[in-house]
Structure 1
Amino acid sequence: MSEPAPDPRPAFVLIRPQMGENIGAAARSMLNFGLEHMRVTAPRDGWPNERAVALASGAGRLLDDAMICDTTEAAVADCTFVFATTARNRDLTKPVFTPEAAMAEARKRGARGEKVAVLFGPERTGLENDDIVLANAIVSVPTNPDFASLNLAQCVLLMGYEWRRSDDMPPAMEVELAGTDWATHAEMDALSVHFEERLDQAGFFWPDARAPAMKLHLRNLWSRLPLTRADVQIFHGMMRQMVRWKDRG
């Protein structure tokens, strides 16, 4: 019987968090994006923490399973690659990743069987040099330089989002068709012909010398419009109704 594949998901390590509410919110953010390996070092208000449970809102099992450590060294002892999230380099020469690139790298390493961790600093001070020196690389979020500090749970949410995107990135934009399909070229051509016929009857294409160019521009307009079959039927109906109204006059 073959052994199960190693879990590629990184561990999110909260270093000396000060508020239970932020630990709970971080757990909720992690589970939102399918991350379940939480580690916590030296939480200021002790452990377990009722405020963390209250803010976890359904993600309490992450808190139940969280690895509680005394030091950063202990929290990353079994890891092969560690990222440190920080807005400042602190004079340490290290590769600096964007969140997107960091999580793509984490996924590649995890797929190879490596254990990856991401460090998040305490709310008041962020990570100290003694923490950052243990990391292989830094993750820097391109925030406003005049107000760069992120809330702990916000930073966890951002990194979790990028982790999820690195796996199955959804399209940047998509259109949900409500009970219809996109119009075919034949249907668009029939609509164009209908408009040309009715506009011709109305005397729109004048003077005669300009008619070919006007019709060409009109057809080009239709080709730029992403119309559905329902849209095409509405346009046909509009033209038919306009003709009926004209005939009644």
Structure 2
Amino acid sequence: MLRRTLLGAALATPALLRTTKASADTPVDVELILAVDVSRSVDPEEQELQFTGYENAFRDPRLIEGIVGGPVGAIACMMFTWSDWHIQNVVVPWTKLDGAKTAHGFADAIAAAPRRTWLYTSISGAMDFAAKQFGQGFEGSRKVVDISGDGVSNSGRPVAEAREDALAQGIVLNGLAVLDRQPSPFAQNNGLPPLDEYYRDEVIGGPGAFLVVAEGFDAFEAAVRRKIIREIAARPAPGDRVERFA
């Protein structure tokens, strides 16, 4: 009898562990990943404008109000930088944001994050990396990747393939395209569409996906603030597929 009892307990253990793990995921309104371009076309001054834009966004009372205004009253957010197909670096890990204190802490982490510049631009690499980051202790009703950049993909596998794989996982891909006034050192006339059209047609996707266009890095802060507020809204109102900030 004792042997059967022990055997039954052993067989039940994996199921118990699975149940415990599943219940350990912290509920949030949205799981949001910020994917930031640090390829060579983004010079140090422009990179600083990007980081400062994200930092200030998470200090904005309007954004904090949006975070606490959802059914759960919290979001999970992480931030990584990307460049070549194999270069992605997490600069702020997954963090639960549920008020001013945690939002300001996230902003502090962005301010302290290292600034590095790499070479190429792999949007597909950013998508692939982002898709693997979900399911790390949080469970949101929406999974959103916020991809910001100032150039078309020129490294890694085709963007269409990475995009299709991400969408198949239920991930929403939003974009923040920066129309840089200084051309990329790799810029060539390859018959590609303007960057805003490229992001609209080739990058974003999923239910309610949208693109914010910043007319230069000076407009980045206003653009990213608006973008995140819209992404974390408890009930995202139908809006323009493309919004522009000059």
Q: Which has the higher helix share?
A: 1
Same fold at TM > 0.5: no
Larger C-alpha radius of gyration, 1 or 2? 1
TM-score using structure 2 length: 0.34
Compare the two structures and name the one with the higher strand fraction.
2
Tell me: higher relative CO, structure 1 or 2? Use CA pairs within 8 A at least 6 residues apart.
2
